[in-house]
Amino acid sequence: MAQFKAQFPDNFYWGGATAANQIEGAFDEDGKGLSAADFVEYIPKEQRTKDNAMEITSEQIRKTLSGESDARHPKREGIDFYHRYKEDIALLAEMGFTAFRLSIHWSRIFPNGYDEKPNEAGLQFYDNVLDELLKHNIEPVVTLSHYETPYGLTEKYNGWAGRETVDHFVRYAETVFTRYKDKVTYWITFNEINMITISPFTGGGIVSDKEENPIQAKYQGLHHQFIASSLATKKLHEIIPNGKMGCMLARMSTYPNTPNPEDVLKAQQDNRQNLFFTDVHVRGEYPEYMTRYFIENDITISKETGDDEILKQHPVDYITISYYMSSLSSVSPEGEVTAGNLNNSLKNPYLESSDWGWQIDPIGLRVALNDMYDRYQLPIFIVENGLGAYDKVEEDGSIHDDYRISYLSKHIAQMKEAIGDGVDLMGYLAWGPIDLVSMSTSEMSKRYGFVYVDKDDEGNGDLARSRKDSFFWYKKVIESNGEVL
């Protein structure tokens, strides 16, 4: 067989990705209002009943607001990026980052979500951060909503369950497009839009116990997000003519557990349930297979006149994904189960797992990229990938995270192969380049970074930053444009 050498294009973006609520802290500084993330509680591992603690009840909210709760809310503290962004961005620049993904914490700009005027101090903060990135020639990639629905919208409309939230979102989007039009080209509407069907509170500020029919509410909330995304895309193109709007999907690839055709069918259905979100964002209409799903599950989406046209006229410009692992689909529930990003899976005997049970599958990334490119023929940007692991600080302060280097290099090698297969891949942003608060567990000990942050699960530590072995490794990867892995 003749040799073929895949390689990264010269304009490939290398960098990392974060979310405001997992890094900034300063949750009530300079006029910021509360958001969904500010209610998420840290539950020590031994007290956890499942590997996430993202859903929040009315009672938890009441206790938090009245001061009766003694729960910790680590996302309120983050890693103090709010005050240390200059030092942090300098570290990213030292690794040679050419792109950095951040989210704007919506409630810094509109503290309640429905306020008439934006909060100038919030707008100024992101001006400062964006200027700092541009000073280092780092392209910002900005997410408008990364699990940060303002609490005011939850109180008033039960978050995205209410149609009113669409207008408030579009006003917020318009405000930041206008303000940052000379600084930001690449935008993303909703982080992992599929989250709203898994944890409606995290994904949509929807408190499920307030709803008579929670399943109905989450799909209705999703419809509102689809409409909001299309309307924001329309505004973006009006305000920033060369602006690019991306959607974001947690790609949850799944294989049949056995060659039994029933398992194969189940895997196809599960994959469709995941790709449904990008189908709507890219093709601008609900796929037929969802009509059947909605009927069988007693779900009726209420649409306003013109909704179908809005979806059709304003699809996204590019696709972004997070990819951490793959799963198995089976019609029989027997077998060992392991935890995963957003859902659990049967254990795949061919794969190793992370310290949190997520199944590590670099080849799965190549498969996922090829599948998505075959399906949509739109540029794809990997805006999250990485390994959450325990790190050990040696006596001399060094951190030998060879497990992280191994995970990342195998995934990057498969990305390169996918490019060789013909995928139009724009860039790679590793998740959490600086250690941050875990989304699903609110732990600090689940670390993804190239940069270590001195803080533990109980909040102790002086927040000092230090370089792990992977820091020097990633610098070389970027320098060599992915040749040295």
Q: What is the set of active-site residues?
A: 192, 384
Q: Smallest gap, in angstroms, from Cβ of residue 312 to ligand BG6? A: 28
Query: Does 250 engage in binding with ligand BG6 (CB under 6 A)?
Result: yes
Sites for ligand BG6 among residues 364-393 (CB under 6 A):
384, 388
- 278: closest CA among 162, 185, 371? 371
Sites for ligand BG6 among residues 388-427 (CB under 6 A):
388
Range in contact with ligand BG6 (rule: CB under 6 A) among 89-97, 116-124, 438-446, 451-459: 438-446
Which of 431, 450, 452, 473: binder of ligand BG6 (CB under 6 A)?
431
Query: Does 280 engage in binding with ligand BG6 (CB under 6 A)?
Result: no
Range in contact with ligand BG6 (rule: CB under 6 A) among 238-246, 261-269, 440-448, 470-478: 440-448
Nearer to ligand BG6, 231 or 250 (CB): 250
Nearer to ligand BG6, 76 or 314 (CB): 76
Which of 440, 455, 467, 474: binder of ligand BG6 (CB under 6 A)?
440
Q: Smallest gap, in angstroms, from Cβ of residue 341 to ligand BG6? A: 5
Query: Does 457 engage in binding with ligand BG6 (CB under 6 A)?
Result: no
Query: Does 36 engage in binding with ligand BG6 (CB under 6 A)?
Result: no
Report d(CA 407, CA 365) in Å as an integer: 12
Report d(CA 264, CA 270) in Å as an integer: 10
Sites for ligand BG6 among residues 53-92 (CB under 6 A):
none
Phi, then psi, of 300 in degrees rounded to 5? -120, 120
Query: Would you give the distance in Å from CA 285 to the centre of its chain?
Result: 23
Which of 438, 452, 457, 482: binder of ligand BG6 (CB under 6 A)?
438
- 138: closest CA among 80, 185, 104? 185
- 439: closest CA among 28, 74, 69, 150? 74
Query: Does 192 engage in binding with ligand BG6 (CB under 6 A)?
Result: yes
CB atoms within 10 A of CB 30: 13
Nearer to ligand BG6, 8 or 147 (CB): 147
Here's the x/- map for ligand BG6, 5-34, by CB under 6 A: it reads as: --------------x--x------------
Q: Where are the alpha helices (DSSP H) in 117-254?
A: 120-135, 151-157, 164-179, 200-204, 214-239
Angle at 368 between CA 366 and CA 374, to 5 degrees: 100
* Cα atoms in the Cβ-side hemisphere of radius 13 Å centred on 187: 31
Measured on CA atoms in the order 456, 460, 463, 465, is the torsion positive or negative?
A: negative
Nearer to ligand BG6, 202 or 230 (CB): 202
- Are the beta carbons of 206 and 162 closer than 8 angstroms? no
Nearer to ligand BG6, 108 or 446 (CB): 446
* Structure tokens that stand for 123 in this block: 């707008």
- Are the beta carbons of 439 and 432 closer than 8 angstroms? no
Query: Total binding residues for ligand BG6 by CB under 6 A?
Result: 15
Cα–Cα separations (whole angstroms), residue 315 to 237, 245, 309, 465, 469: 11, 9, 11, 40, 41
Which of 341, 345, 385, 470: binder of ligand BG6 (CB under 6 A)?
341
* Structure tokens that stand for 65 in this block: 């607001």
- Are the beta carbons of 430 and 386 closer than 8 angstroms? yes
- The conformation of residue 36, written as its DSSP 8-state character, comes to G
Residues that bind ligand BG6 (CB under 6 A): 19, 22, 191-192, 250, 322, 341, 384, 388, 431, 438-441, 446
